[in-house]
Amino acid sequence: MPDEMWSEKYRPVHLYQIIGNEKAKLTFITWLKHWKPGSKSVLLYGPPGTGKTTLVQVASNEFGYKLIEMNASDVRTKTAIMSTAGPIARESSLYVTLYKGAGSILFLDEVDGIFGREDRGGIGGLLKIIDETNVPIILAANDPWKPKLRLLRRSCEMIRFYYVRPSKIIALLKRICQEEGVEAEAKAFAFLAEKSRGDVRSAINDLQSVIGEKVLKVQDVKRLGMRDRKIDVQEALTGIFFAKNVKEAIQSFNNSRIDYEMMLHTIHDNLPLQYSDPIVLASAYNAISRADIFFGRIARTQNWSLLKYAIEQMTAGISTIKKEKTSPVHYRFPPSKIMMLGRTKSERNLRRGICERVGLKCHVSRKAANTDFLPFLKVIFNNDTDLASEISSWLTLDDEMIGYLEDIGRNN
Ligand SMILES: Nc1ncnc2c1ncn2[C@@H]1O[C@H](COP(=O)(O)OP(=O)(O)OP(=O)(O)O)[C@@H](O)[C@H]1O
Ligand SMILES: [Mg+2]
């Protein structure tokens, strides 16, 4: 069984293990206990890494609910939300009686990232579901004060999460070190707690990242996040794939010249060159998909404090997997997705050029040239060389354009 990141390994499974935010916990549990159709839904909000998602997971488990989690991408449009969340919210009490348990809970995470201007329908759909639901609905967000969430705020009981106090974080970090058999310098905990600024996930990730060979030292904590010399792609990937610990993995990324998005694609592309064991590959792809989820959240919510989580997932997430013995290979760079974007960009330019010429000669719009003429040109350029060359000179197509028409005809 591969190792995992400690923030997952030590995710609380009982309510008493969730530290801090006592008032929020109590309010939430009281709400859940007394929930009946017609009650308000709740919106849990506050800074990242303070236990919102964990509380929902643990509480629904302890109360016997079946938790159905959704996030931003599941519910962007009214149709999407109606077809995914609608049936769950309409679950009848007969179903609950038949299947014993307490029924389902619908949990919609990251609502601050869901609704852009184009998603108005989605929010309307959600409000309708909240209004008519037969099951408890829980929403969560980092920033619930965005104007677009106004109506949602009104239809929910708001439960606020705060940063967790250092003393509580210190106690948790100590417990983790004990369970991991790590020998620690006592002062290191206070530094870690202070640096995390009340974000528990970040404190645990930092802890894991500074521990080398089962020891935790103050000097390592102090150096956390500092950048060293710059290294190239080959060295950075070797550093990530062969890191002895989490610390080395994150540092290899920090020291590289590549930005995080490019690094994600680069790691993605090079995994199958480095590993052959399907279980190792699956775990590694899992780690980078979790990083990708954080990148998605950042893009939607502009919450840049999540960046460190993404980076940790794609570097430390890979270094913690137990792998077969291999040695560094020659890594591929730049990543194929970036090359593909470059290629499709030049393809787009070629297509545009052809359509412009067709438009000029045939007196149609570029759009009409694309939909009504291009398909025929493709057929002609692959079947009738004489006609194709006549058309080419009439339209003054250059060699690249001719090649493009022949290629797309062949491939499609
Ligand atoms: N209050 C807490 N008590 C114990 N562990 C916590 C707490 N908050 C966070 N953690 C740790 O951090 C990890 C992430 O927590 P969680 O997913 O609940 O945060 P969140 O508040 O939902 O963050 P986000 O706003 O980013 O979704 C957990 O797996 C757990 O290890
Ligand atoms: Mg969460």
pLDDT for the residue 339: 65
Q: Is the CB of 12 under 6 A from ligand 1?
A: yes
Q: What is the DSSP letter of 305?
A: G
3-state helix, strand, coil in the chain (%, to 5): 65, 10, 30
**How confident is residue 398, by pLDDT bands cut at 50, 70 and 90?**
confident
Please state the atom number of ligand 1 nearest to the C-alpha of residue 7.
31
pLDDT of residue 225: 59
* Ligand 2 midpoint to CA 342 (Å): 35
> Phi then psi for 108, rounded to 5 degrees?
-110, 105
In the prediction, which pLDDT does 299 show? 81
**Ordered DSSP codes for 107-162:** EE--HHHH--GGGHHHHHHHHHHHHH-SS-EEEEES-TTSGGGHHHHHTEEEEE--
**pLDDT of the residue at 340:** 62
Looking at residue 181, what is its pLDDT? 95
Q: How much of the chain, in percent, has pLDDT values that exceed 90?
A: 46
Average pLDDT of 21-30? 97
Distance from residue 81's CA to the centre of ligand 2 (Å): 20
What are the angstrom distances between the C-alpha of 377 and each of 343, 352, 364, 392, 411? 21, 14, 15, 10, 14
Query: Bridge partners of 140?
Result: 44
Q: Report pLDDT for 100.
A: 54
Taking the centre of ligand 2 as the mean of its atom positions, its distance from the CA of residue 375, in whole angstroms, is 48
Of the listed ligands, the closest to the CA of 301 is 1
Residue type at 335 in one-letter notation: P
Domains, the chain, ordered by start: 21-160 (3.40.50.300), 166-319 (no CATH), 336-411 (no CATH)
What is the token pair recorded at 405? 């028409």
Mutate to test the pocket of ligand 1, among 16, 18, 54, 164 (most ligand atoms within 8 A of CB): 54
What's the CA gap between 35 and 95, in Å, rounded?
17
404 CA distance to ligand 1 middle (Å): 51
Whether 164 lines ligand 1, by a CB cut-off of 6 Å, is yes
Give the position, in ligand 1's atom list, of the atom nearest the Cα of 8. 29
Tell me: the pLDDT tens digits for 272-316?
A: 999 999 999 999 999 999 999 998 888 888 788 888 899 999 999
Percent of the chain's residues with pLDDT above 70: 89
Q: Is 18 in the pocket of ligand 1 (CB under 6 A)?
A: yes
Distance 50 CA to ligand 2 centre (A): 8
Map residue 43 onto helix, strand or coil.
Answer: strand
- The tokens 């022949």 sit on which residue? 406
pLDDT for position 343: 62
pLDDT at 99: 54
What pLDDT does residue 16 have? 96
**Distance between Cα 95 and ligand 2 center (Å):** 29
Asked if pLDDT for residue 347 goes beyond 50, the answer is yes
The closest residue, in CA terms, to atom 18 on ligand 1 is 51
User: Does the pLDDT of residue 239 top 90, yes or no?
Assistant: yes
pLDDT in tens, 163-195: 999 999 999 999 999 999 999 999 999 999 988
More confident residue, 399 or 364: 364
Which is the closest atom of ligand 1 to the Cα of 18?
3
Q: How many angstroms separate the alpha carbon of residue 52 from the centre of ligand 2?
A: 5
Least Cα distance to 29 among 159, 126, 153 occurs for 159
**pLDDT at residue 96, as a whole number:** 56
pTM over 0.95? The answer is: no
Written as six digits, the tokens of 214 are: 């089962």
Mean pLDDT of 4-11: 90
CA 356 to centroid of chain Cα atoms: 40
Check residue 405 and give its pLDDT: 84
Residues 57-72: what's their mean pLDDT? 90
pLDDT above 90: residue 213: no
The answer on pLDDT for 336 being more than 90 is: no
Q: Determine if ligand 1 sits within 6 Å of the CB of residue 290.
A: no
Question: pLDDT category, 227, cuts 50, 70, 90?
Answer: very low
Distance 109 CA to ligand 2 centre (A): 6
Q: What distance lies between CA 178 and its chain's CA centroid?
A: 31
Q: How far apart are CA 359 and CA 371, in angstroms?
A: 12
Q: Is the pLDDT of residue 349 over 50?
A: yes
For residue 256 and ligand 1, the question of a CB distance below 6 A is answered with no
pLDDT digits (tens, 9 = 90+) for 70-114: 876 666 677 777 888 888 888 766 555 555 567 889 999 888 876
Q: Is 201 in the pocket of ligand 1 (CB under 6 A)?
A: yes
Q: Is the pLDDT of residue 219 over 60?
A: yes
- CA torsion angle for 142, 145, 147, 150 (degrees, to 10)? 100
Q: Cβ(353) to ligand 1 under 6 A? A: no
How high is the mean pLDDT of the chain? 86
d(CA 313, CA 287): 6
Return the pLDDT at 198.
92
Protein residue with its CA nearest to atom 11 in ligand 1: 201
Write down the pLDDT at residue 230: 63
State whether the beta carbon of 204 lies less than 6 angstroms from ligand 1.
Answer: yes
Q: Which of 18-22, 132-136, 274-278, 349-353 has the lowest mean pLDDT?
A: 349-353
* Closest C-alpha to ligand 1, atom 7: 51
Neighbours of ion ligand 2 (CB under 5 A): 52-53
